[in-house]
Structure 1
Amino acid sequence: MACVATLISNPAAPSLDADAVERAQRALPSAQTPVWLDPGIAADIPFTGAAENTQTDAKRALTEYVRTALGGAPIDVLLQDAGGRRKRLFLADMDSTMIGQECIDELADYIGVKREVAAITERAMRGEIEFAPALRERVALLKGLPASLADKVIAERIRLTPGAHTLVATMRKNGVYTCLVTGGFTLFTQRVAAMIGFHENRANTLVVDAGGRLTGEVTEPIFGREAKLATLIELRRRLGIAPEATLVAGDGANDIAMIEAAGLGVAYHAKPNVAKAAAARVDHGDLTALLYAQGYRRDEFVAEGAPQAGA
């Protein structure tokens, strides 16, 4: 079966050289001539995999074998079937995936409870505690905060993950439907989705009183793990897109279900439990790694700041 291994390094610190590619070639069965997607940053190595190597567990084992051959170099390795790499539907988590922060933690910092809230967030994202009760507990600590503070958090604290604009703009140019899904809040997602260029966003809604302050409650039902998976299935069916033509990226425990259900589910700089569950992971590259994984060359990227086009 025709397969491909994509090697990716961080564009901010290119580390993929001919020697690394050669070592990866030697670790792959029936490896063919590499194709550079971006010299120094990303390359495809076509190879012929036995039928059993197309199964998830075998793919993981072969991926780890290639990583070992690379000697711990900061290079991501993604193995896939060669066909159908370019996806038609993209869902991504927001906090610590499309942006570098956890919005609720930053909001909590303004009233001096960031340490308490961040500790709960970390445990929930690692899957150590259930997401819904953890969210309610954190939201209760925000009672009395003005909802308008979200604008200040976005302006002063929130930074897009490198490659976010380029990833979404390039996929949209190629007809991909994009959706930002998060266990966070619409106070943030509506703005962040617009900043990056997503078609739509799904998130939780904080209850705000008549005076414009948070009540310490969140509208039920909680948008979490199952809701993210349901959104993937809903959009897939609505748009007539096959499961294998979907791409999902996330970092926390409530992303696992949708990652496992995607054609290409990527654990992006993820918690250990998520990286273990995902068939593919990006530990070193930025978000453009998701374009290289689909076989896009650097000269096919939509440059950051270019007019939005496509679907």
Structure 2
Amino acid sequence: MTNPESNIVLTCIAHGATIDNATIFKSINGILQNQINESTVIDTKTLSVRAFDIYIHTMIPVSALKTLFVFEDVDVIVQHNDVYRQNKKLFVFDMDSTLIYQEVIELIASYANVEDQVREITNRAMNNEIDFKESLRERVKLLTGLRIDTLYDKIKLQLRITNGVKELCQFLKVKGCKLAVLSGGFIQFATFIKDQLEFDFAKANLLEMDSNGNLTGNVLGEIVDGQCKADTLKQLCKEYNVKIEESCMVGDGGNDLPAMGTAGFGIAWNAKPKVQEVAPCKLNTDSLRDVLYILGYTDDEIKSTTTTTTTTI
């Protein structure tokens, strides 16, 4: 492992095309020297023209360190420099606004002319301002009477996979990772995305329909909220014989925070401000492929892995 004597690694990832290593390093080093006297910079490692690692040794907890480094166009991810950083065996993703750009319930709501009302409730739920279960019930009630069975295929055609998702997932599968989507949305779409990305598992909510194919305004079975996501992540770890430390959760909303806290590591992807404040780390770039920098992989390593896969196929 690179720099085994360091116990913390800071991964700096630029939102733009390049990163000014020297300036960012100087700023971080200044913060460390001014506020954490026992911190010692061990070394740096270039991951790409947009990302690099800084290895440090300190007794200060990661939770305290991650609040110190705030840059306008650069994310600084703070984590333990241990064997689990790269040794991930389970990645769990939220779906709406994470694996895909849209919120599916808002696409459905547009057919019922209640998109604005649904969006307002969704935003409050993602900001952790209201209970997710209650928010889902409120939104689904607004869809009562909508003929949904004929809309599934239309809406699936509108779904757009987030930039970098396919490359990230291809790489993780080559490394032997199990992949899962846990969605507070609906199972028809979560299963569709699972199949598109060749995931191992999908879990989401089921809308109740009457005999005519119209929505009743109810959700059947257990609602997939934050606690359900966390519990399911733990169940998947047991099923796949994966240590919790070898798991990672990626999401954007308040209902993803319990699973982020349960997993070995959690990544808030272009999340709501309140979620970014409390998540293990935040990533605000335009490609989910950048998660591989958080894991410590260089561009050369990423290219080598994906090129080998393509050649083999």
Partner of 2:199: 198
Q: 1:25: how far off?
A: 4.1
Unaligned runs of at least 5 residues, structure 1: none
Q: 1:43 and 2:48 equivalent?
A: no
One-letter code of the match for 1:77?
A: V
Distance 2:203 2:29 in 1: 41
Cα deviation per residue 1:120-159 (whole Å; 9 max; x = unaligned)?
Answer: 1111111222111221221122232232312212213x22
Partner of 2:246: 245
Going from structure 1 to structure 2, the CA distance change for 1:167 and 1:218 (only over 3 Å counts) comes to: same
Partner of 2:3: none
One-letter code of the match for 1:37?
A: L
Q: 1:22: how far off?
A: 2.6
Query: Equivalent residues in 2 for 1:101-140 (5 A)?
Result: 101-140=102-141
Distance 1:115 1:204 in 2: 22
Going from structure 1 to structure 2, the CA distance change for 1:234 and 1:308 (only over 3 Å counts) comes to: farther
Q: 1:189: how far off?
A: 0.6
Q: Is the 8 A contact 1:8 1:16 kept in 2?
A: yes
Partner of 1:74: 73
State the secondary structure of the residue aligned to 1:36: strand
Q: TM-score, normalised by structure 2?
A: 0.87
Q: 1:180: how far off?
A: 0.3
Q: 1:37: how far off?
A: 1.1
State the secondary structure of the residue aligned to 2:232: helix
One-letter code of the match for 1:76?
A: D
Aligned residue pairs total: 295
Q: 1:9 and 2:14 equivalent?
A: yes
Going from structure 1 to structure 2, the CA distance change for 1:271 and 1:309 (only over 3 Å counts) comes to: farther
State the secondary structure of the residue aligned to 1:188: helix
Unaligned runs of at least 5 residues, structure 2: 1-5, 33-38
Going from structure 1 to structure 2, the CA distance change for 1:62 and 1:119 (only over 3 Å counts) comes to: same
Q: Is the 8 A contact 1:269 1:281 kept in 2?
A: yes
Q: 1:147 and 2:149 equivalent?
A: yes
Query: Equivalent residues in 2 for 1:52-71 (5 A)?
Result: 53=60, 55=61, 59-67=62-70
Cα deviation per residue 1:198-245 (whole Å; 9 max; x = unaligned)?
Answer: 211110011233333333221122111111011111011122222211
Query: Equivalent residues in 2 for 1:211-250 (5 A)?
Result: 211-250=212-251
RMSD: 2.2
State the secondary structure of the residue aligned to 1:45: strand
Distance 1:218 1:291 in 2: 36
Of 23, 27, 30, the residue aligned with 2:40 is 30
One-letter code of the match for 1:145?
A: R
Q: Is the 8 A contact 2:21 2:52 kept in 1?
A: no
Going from structure 1 to structure 2, the CA distance change for 1:308 and 1:280 (only over 3 Å counts) comes to: farther
Q: Is the 8 A contact 1:89 1:247 kept in 2?
A: yes
Going from structure 1 to structure 2, the CA distance change for 1:212 and 1:262 (only over 3 Å counts) comes to: same
Going from structure 1 to structure 2, the CA distance change for 1:300 and 1:145 (only over 3 Å counts) comes to: farther
Going from structure 1 to structure 2, the CA distance change for 1:150 and 1:307 (only over 3 Å counts) comes to: farther
Partner of 1:160: 161
Distance 1:267 1:244 in 2: 17
Cα deviation per residue 1:260-288 (whole Å; 9 max; x = unaligned)?
Answer: 11111112211223222212111235212
State the secondary structure of the residue aligned to 2:277: helix
Partner of 2:23: 20
Partner of 1:286: 287
One-letter code of the match for 2:122?
A: T
Moved more, 30-39 or 246-255: 30-39
